[in-house]
A and B are shown apart, each in its own frame.
Chain A
Amino acid sequence: MTQKPVSMEELSAYVDGELAPGQAARIARIAASDPETARRVAILRSLRAGVAAIGEETARVDVEAIRGRMVRRRNARWLGAATAAAAVLALGLGLAGWQSMTPASPERGAAAGGVVSGDVARMVAAHDAWVAGAAPPAAAPPPDRLSALIGATGLRLVRSGRLPLADGRAAGQTDYLGAHGCRLSLFRAEDAAPRPARERLVVEIEGDLRLASWSAGRDYHLVSRGMDVPRFATIASALMAATRREGGDEGEPLALLSGAHRPCLG
């Protein structure tokens, strides 16, 4: 009995594993008994292997090098955007000054896991403990004016606590949670700062850590991880303005904060 010849299309699909099991079995049977079909199958498999090797033999792309360039470019872009956003905000609010965002300063950078040191390191650790679910449970206090301002950015007050500081003072900690996983902690020293108030807002970026510090009668620190940098800087700038305008009109910072809705990274 003469077998129906196998077409090029069928053979091609056969070597690609694209035929239905019944069709593939038929071709396998034919190839087992017909040397010419077996030769054709072998040629197509070799041809496929030859084409598959083309890319790697002719050009290479260093993905790691591209990644390094992109990370550097992105960091530079964030730095510029955050600086611009916060500077515009500071100008709009008539603030005393704005210190551009920098990587964590050297005097604070060595200790506490290479990020920050002293009381600020305690605050970062307290924020991380809350994020990790390791902080002591505490009920959320009634919202105050700062909570209302932060709430305008989509972050909800969920917890408060008290953090002892190195010099015997303490700071109040309030933790905020966003709808998409953003987490932010605000630390307020309970007592007036023992030194002259810090004129400028300092925003520091170290990896995914975002840290902002300012003074308004007392010291304030804002901590987050992975938050969009312009958003973080906007929140920090608006909070500094609000804390320096006790009892004043908060329409301006509120309007600015209302636009600061961005998802967190990771």
Chain B
Amino acid sequence: MPVFSTANWTMLRRVSPRLVGYAVALTHDPDLAGDLVQDAIVRAVESRNVPADERAFRAWITRILRNLWIDRCRARRRRADRAEAPAGEVADFPAGFRSEDLILNRIVVREAFGRLSASHREILALIDILGFSYGEAAELLGVRPGTVMSRVSRARRDLLRRLSDEGVVPFPAAARRMP
């Protein structure tokens, strides 16, 4: 018999916005992400073993959502992944890049994020959106924390490269440089 309690629903309400962010990162489709989160919630509520601790709960429902997505991908024989940029070609921090540009260009960041490979989107979603520690993300992905550290770094470098090379980054800066 399901044992999803009122406290579990409260935890779910708290984690759901970030869970949606993670789902968007996985699916790259807001509608699909909404469906995926809803299905994960249904699966969670019908579970017989619900973690009582909030951190454990967050990791648990994230794992449910991730497994659902993997199942769907397999079922559809879908390859959503994109080619990752070779690390050697990437300049870490392009010149002229400023943190203010990123703050002003959230939409641009979102667009560039969407062009990342699925694995880069996922690792950044786990760390930046869901707020997982490297250890928690490593456990979820079945890798070592050091691997997570490298992946996060590569994903951010790729994101910065896309923001720079595709000319979308320094929006205000570029505008200022125009005659």
Is A147 close to B, CB under 8 A? Answer: no
Is B106 close to A, CB under 8 A? Answer: yes
Q: A57–B153 contact, CB under 8 A? A: no
Binding site for B on A (CB under 8 A): 7-9, 12-13, 16, 18, 39-40, 42-61, 63-64, 66-67, 70, 74, 228, 262-263, 265-266
5 shortest interchain CB distances as A-B pairs: A55-B21, A50-B109, A42-B99, A59-B30, A46-B102
Q: A9–B34 contact, CB under 8 A? A: no
Known: A46-B99, A61-B37. A54 touches B157 (CB 8 A): no
Is B178 close to A, CB under 8 A? Answer: no
Among A9, A43, A45, contact of B93 (Cβ-Cβ < 8 Å)? A43
Question: Would you give 17 A-B contacts (Cβ < 8 Å), ordered by A?
Answer: A8-B92, A9-B153, A13-B152, A13-B153, A18-B133, A43-B98, A46-B103, A50-B106, A54-B24, A54-B109, A54-B113, A55-B18, A55-B19, A55-B25, A58-B21, A64-B13, A228-B1
Is B124 close to A, CB under 8 A? Answer: yes
Measured in the bound complex, the distance between the Cα atoms of B92 and A64 in whole Å is 43
Measured in the bound complex, the distance between the Cα atoms of B21 and A51 in whole Å is 9
Contacts of A18 in B (CB 8 A): 133-134, 149
Contacts of A12 in B (CB 8 A): 149, 152-153, 156
Q: A13–B129 contact, CB under 8 A? A: no
Q: B13–A63 contact, CB under 8 A? A: yes
Contacts of B106 in A (CB 8 A): 50, 53, 57
Is B20 close to A, CB under 8 A? Answer: yes
Contacts of B109 in A (CB 8 A): 47, 50-51, 54
Contacts of A42 in B (CB 8 A): 98-99
The closest CB in chain A to the CB of B159 belongs to A47
Among A59, A63, A262, contact of B12 (Cβ-Cβ < 8 Å)? A63
Q: B20–A60 contact, CB under 8 A? A: yes
